[in-house]
């Protein structure tokens, strides 16, 4: 449903000279009259969907609200430049709770030298919702899009995948620094971040790039939390660690499409400390497949998170 609605929105908002990239990527690209470009995106987090206010501190909620936006900048290979915070809080919130929310935002912002330049604060009968808009500047190589992957490019991911619900979805550090270091020295054809799950976010790259991909299950870096979650939920859900890695949302790691040689060079000489792993290859035939130890390809439709609207 979200997918169709976004398609409808895209038909209503065509790109033009001043908006080279509009709705449908991790951020939009704007061409200012001065000749410079910037990237801009927005994410809205709500109580009961992205966090449970009663189960987590206001600081962590504020931090997450900014972190998911920073992750969009990382997915574009762009330098975060400024952010604005809109929020609506329940009437019964005290000012101290509000300040705690903002403290979580400010602390993460400062670690990325990101100024919070504006916002709007309201109260109402409802629950907490936070919308952050973030503006970034292009690197000299230009922003990464979802649409540039080519057959035979390798699929590269940062970090380890799956099980983020156990804590990473609040505590992850968005891959901004890693993205900028990679963008500085390596050729990247396409990129996105994992917000709705590797299989779903990779599928977005595939549809924007009009190609397919084969994931090598043996290569996918499965996080310890994916393994733990598989055990914790064994009775109820019986989801394997690899399926957690393929489908869990909110890893906020990067998926990169890179030419073979560049991907090899990146893995051998990573400019950053986080794990960087080749997990498969883009192919010309449309679709998403996985390949197990037996070498046989099997179709693997995305199962990640999709907003119901």
Q: Which residues bind a copy of itself (CB under 8 A)?
A: 1-2, 4-6, 8-9, 12-13, 16, 18-19, 22-23, 27-28, 30, 32-36, 38, 40-44, 46-49, 81-82, 84-89, 91, 93, 95, 98-99, 102, 106, 115-127, 129, 131, 133, 135, 137, 307-309
List all residues 6 or more positions away from 16 whose beta carbon is below 8 Å from its beta carbon.
Answer: none
Nearer to a copy of itself, 20 or 259 (CB): 20
> Measured between alpha carbons, how far is 6 from 4 in angstroms, rounded to an integer?
5
CA angle 50, 233, 71 (to 5 degrees): 30
Q: Smallest distance, Å, CB 131 to a copy of itself?
A: 4
Nearer to a copy of itself, 121 or 233 (CB): 121
Q: Smallest distance, Å, CB 49 to a copy of itself?
A: 5
Nearer to a copy of itself, 126 or 292 (CB): 126
Q: Smallest distance, Å, CB 304 to a copy of itself?
A: 16
Q: Smallest distance, Å, CB 107 to a copy of itself?
A: 11
Q: Smallest distance, Å, CB 236 to a copy of itself?
A: 23
Q: Smallest distance, Å, CB 122 to a copy of itself?
A: 6
Nearer to a copy of itself, 127 or 234 (CB): 127
- Exposed/middle/buried for residue 272 (C-beta within 10 Å: 0-12, 13-18, 19+): middle
Identify whether the C-beta of residue 83 lies closer than 8 Å to the C-beta of residue 116.
Answer: yes
Nearer to a copy of itself, 118 or 292 (CB): 118
List all residues 6 or more positions away from 270 whose beta carbon is below 8 Å from its beta carbon.
Answer: 276
φ, ψ dihedrals at 192, nearest 5°: -155, 175
> Measured between alpha carbons, how far is 210 from 224 in angstroms, rounded to an integer?
33
Nearer to a copy of itself, 123 or 284 (CB): 123
Nearer to a copy of itself, 55 or 273 (CB): 55
Report CA 195 to chain centroid distance, whole Å: 4
In sequence order, what DSSP letters do the residues of 239-278 get, joined into one string?
--HHHHHHH-S----EEEEE-HHHHHHHHHS-SSSS-EEE
> Measured between alpha carbons, how far is 58 from 51 in angstroms, rounded to an integer?
10
Q: Where are the beta strands (DSSP E) in 58-162?
A: 79-90, 116-124, 129-137, 154-158
Q: Smallest distance, Å, CB 173 to a copy of itself?
A: 21
> Measured between alpha carbons, how far is 50 from 67 in angstroms, rounded to an integer?
12
């Amino acid at each position: 449903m979200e997918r169709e609605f976004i398609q409808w929105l895209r038909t209503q908002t065509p790109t033009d000279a001043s908006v080279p990239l509009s709705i449908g990527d991790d951020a939009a690209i704007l061409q200012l009259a001065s000749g410079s470009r910037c990237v801009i995106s927005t994410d809205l987090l709500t109580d009961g969907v992205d966090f449970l206010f009663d189960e987590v501190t206001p600081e962590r909620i504020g931090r997450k609200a900014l972190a998911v936006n920073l992750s969009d900048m990382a997915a574009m290979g762009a330098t975060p430049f400024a952010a604005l915070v809109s929020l609506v809080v329940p009437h019964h919130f005290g000012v101290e709770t509000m300040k705690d929310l903002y403290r979580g935002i400010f602390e993460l912002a400062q670690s990325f030298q990101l100024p919070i330049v504006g916002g709007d604060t309201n109260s109402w009968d409802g629950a907490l919702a936070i919308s952050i808009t973030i503006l970034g500047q292009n690197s000299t190589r230009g922003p990464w899009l979802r649409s540039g992957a080519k057959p035979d490019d390798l699929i590269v991911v940062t970090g380890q995948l799956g099980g983020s619900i156990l804590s990473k979805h609040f505590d992850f550090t968005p891959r901004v620094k890693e993205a900028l270091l990679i963008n500085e020295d390596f050729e990247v054809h396409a990129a996105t971040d994992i917000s709705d799950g590797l299989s779903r976010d990779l599928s977005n790259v595939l549809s924007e790039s009009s190609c397919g991909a084969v994931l090598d299950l043996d290569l996918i870096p499965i996080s310890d939390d994916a393994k733990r979650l598989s055990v914790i939920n064994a009775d109820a859900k019986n989801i394997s660690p690899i399926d957690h890695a393929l489908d869990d949302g909110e890893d906020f790691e990067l998926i990169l499409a890179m030419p073979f040689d560049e991907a090899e060079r990146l893995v051998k000489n990573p400019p950053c400390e986080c794990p960087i792993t080749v997990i498969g290859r883009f192919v010309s035939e449309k679709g998403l497949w996985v390949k197990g130890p037996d070498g046989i390809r099997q179709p693997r439709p995305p199962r990640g998170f999709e907003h119901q609207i």
